[in-house]
Chains A and B, each alone.
Chain A
Amino acid sequence: MDYNQTFAKEVYEKVDSGDEIKVCMQCGVCGATCPLRGEMKYGPRQIWSLIRAGRRDEVLNNPDIMLCTSCYTCQVRCPRGVPIMEVMHGLAHYALAQGIVPRAETAKFGKAFWEGIYDTGRVDEAVVPIKYCLQDGLVAGLKKSLGMMDIGLALMKAKRMKPKMFIPPNIFIPGVHKIKGVKQLQRMLDKAAAIDAAKEA
Chain B
Amino acid sequence: MSKKVCGYLCKGCGIGDALDLGGLKKAAGEQGVKEFKEHDVLCSPEGVAMIQADVDAGTNALLIAACSSRAKTDEFSFGNQVLVERVSLREQVVWCSAEAEDDDRQMLGEDYMRMGGVKLTKSEPPAPFQLEGEVAKAVLVVGGGISGLNAAIAAAEAGSQVYLVEKEAELGGFLRTINKLGPQTAPYRELEDNPLPALLEKVSGHANIKTFTGATVDKTEGAPGNFTISLSNGESLRAGAIIQATGWTPYDPEKLAGDLAYGSSPNIVTNVQFEQKAKEGGLGGINSIAFIQCAGSRDANHLPYCSAFCCLVSCKQAMYVKQANPEASVYVIYKDVRTPSQSEEVYREAQRQGVIFIRRDEAYPTITGSDKLSLETMDVLLNEKVSLEELDMVVLATGMKPNNPKVVEAPLVAFGEDQEAAKKLVEEAKAQTEDWSVLNLQYRQGPNLPTLKYAMPDSHFICFPYETRRTGIYTSGTVRRPMRLTQAQDDGVGAAMKAIQAIRAAEAGCAVHPRSGDESFPEFAMQRCTQCKRCTEECPFGAINEDEKANPLPNPTRCRRCGVCMGACPERIISFKNYSVDIVGSQIKAIEVPEEDEEKPRVVVLACENDALPAIDMAARLGKSWSAFVRFIPVRCLGSVNLVWIADALSSGIDGLILMGCRRGDDYQCHFIKGSELANVRMSKISETLQRLVLESDRIKVAEVGITDHDKVAGIINEFMETIDSVGPNPYKGF
A, B assembled together:
yes
**Using Cβ atoms and an 8 Å threshold, which residues of chain A touch B359?**
26
Q: By the criterion CB–CB under 8 Å, are B356 and A3 in contact?
A: yes
Measured between C-beta atoms, what is the minimum distance from A11 to chain B in Å? Answer: 12
Interface set, chain B 331-387, CB cutoff 8 A to A: 331, 337, 347-348, 351-352, 354, 356-359, 379, 381-382, 384-387
Q: Would you give the shortest CB distance from A53 to chain B, in whole angstroms?
A: 6
CB contact between B381 and one of A1, A3, A22, A26 (< 8 Å): that residue: A26
Given contacts A22-B354, A49-B381, contact A2 B348 (CB under 8 A): no
How many residues from B make CB contacts under 8 Å with A?
Answer: 21
B389 interface residue per 8 A CB criterion = yes
Given the complex, which residues of A lie within 8 Å of B386, measured CB to CB?
1-3, 53
Looking across the interface, which residue of chain B has its beta carbon closest to that of A81? Answer: B348
- In this assembly, does B329 line the interface, its C-beta being within 8 Å of a C-beta of chain A? yes
Per-residue CB contact flags for chain A residues 1-42 toward chain B (1 = under 8 Å, else 0) read: 111010010001000000000111110000000000000000
A52 in the interface, Cβ–Cβ < 8 Å?
yes
A73 contacts B by Cβ under 8 Å: no
Residues of B within 8 A of A67 (CB): none
Contact residue range for chain A? 10 to 19
Q: Judging by beta carbons under 8 Å apart, are A23 and B348 in contact?
A: yes
Q: Could you mark each residue 43-79 of chain A with 1 if its beta carbon is under 8 Å from any beta carbon of chain B, else 0?
A: 0011001101100000000000000000000000000
Residue of chain B at shortest CB distance from A80:
B348
Tell me, in angstroms, the Cα distance from A62 to B618 when the chains sit together.
Answer: 59
Majority-rule SS of A interface residues = helix
A46–B384 Cα distance when bound, in Å, is 12
Q: How far is the CA of A2 from the CA of B388 in the complex (A)?
A: 6
Q: Which residue of B lies closest to A20 (CB)?
A: B352
Which residues of B (10-62) have their CB < 8 Å from a CB of A?
A: none
Residues of the A chain whose Cβ atoms lie less than 8 Å from the Cβ of B389: 2
Q: List chain B residues, Cβ under 8 A from A52.
A: 356
Report the separation of the CA atoms of residues A53 and B348 in the bound assembly, to the nearest whole angstrom: 19
- A3 neighbours in B (Cβ, 8 Å): 329, 331, 356, 358, 386-388
A46 and B379 alpha carbons, distance in the complex (Å): 12
Residues of chain A with a CB closer than 8 A to B337's CB: 25
A50 touches B351 (CB 8 A): no
Chain A residues positioned under 8 Å from B358 (CB to CB): 3
* CA gap between A24 and B355 in the complex, in Å: 11
Identify the closest chain A residue to B359 (Cβ). Answer: A26
CA distance A112 to B227 in the complex (A): 87
Q: Are A5 and B329 in contact (CB under 8 A)?
A: yes
B333 → chain A closest CB, angstroms: 11
Q: In the complex, what's the smallest C-beta–C-beta distance from A26 to chain B, in angstroms?
A: 5
Q: Is the CB of B356 within 8 A of A5?
A: yes
A52 nearest in chain B by CB position: B356
As a 0/1 sequence over residues 386 to 407 of chain B, the CB contacts with chain A under 8 angstroms (1 = contact) are 1111000000000000000000
Q: A1-B386, A25-B357 are in contact. List 10 more A-B contacts (CB 8 A).
A: A3-B331, A5-B329, A8-B356, A12-B354, A23-B351, A24-B351, A25-B351, A46-B382, A53-B379, A80-B348
- Pairs A–B under 8 Å by Cβ, sample size 21: A1-B384, A2-B386, A2-B387, A3-B329, A3-B331, A3-B358, A3-B386, A5-B354, A8-B356, A22-B351, A22-B352, A23-B348, A24-B351, A25-B351, A26-B359, A26-B381, A45-B381, A46-B381, A49-B379, A50-B382, A53-B379
Across the A-B interface, give the 10 residue pairs with the lowest CB-CB distance, nearest first: A23-B351, A49-B381, A22-B351, A23-B348, A26-B381, A1-B386, A52-B356, A5-B329, A3-B388, A2-B387
Where the two chains meet, the residues of B that have a C-beta atom closer than 8 Å to any C-beta of A are 329, 331, 337, 347-348, 351-352, 354, 356-359, 379, 381-382, 384-389
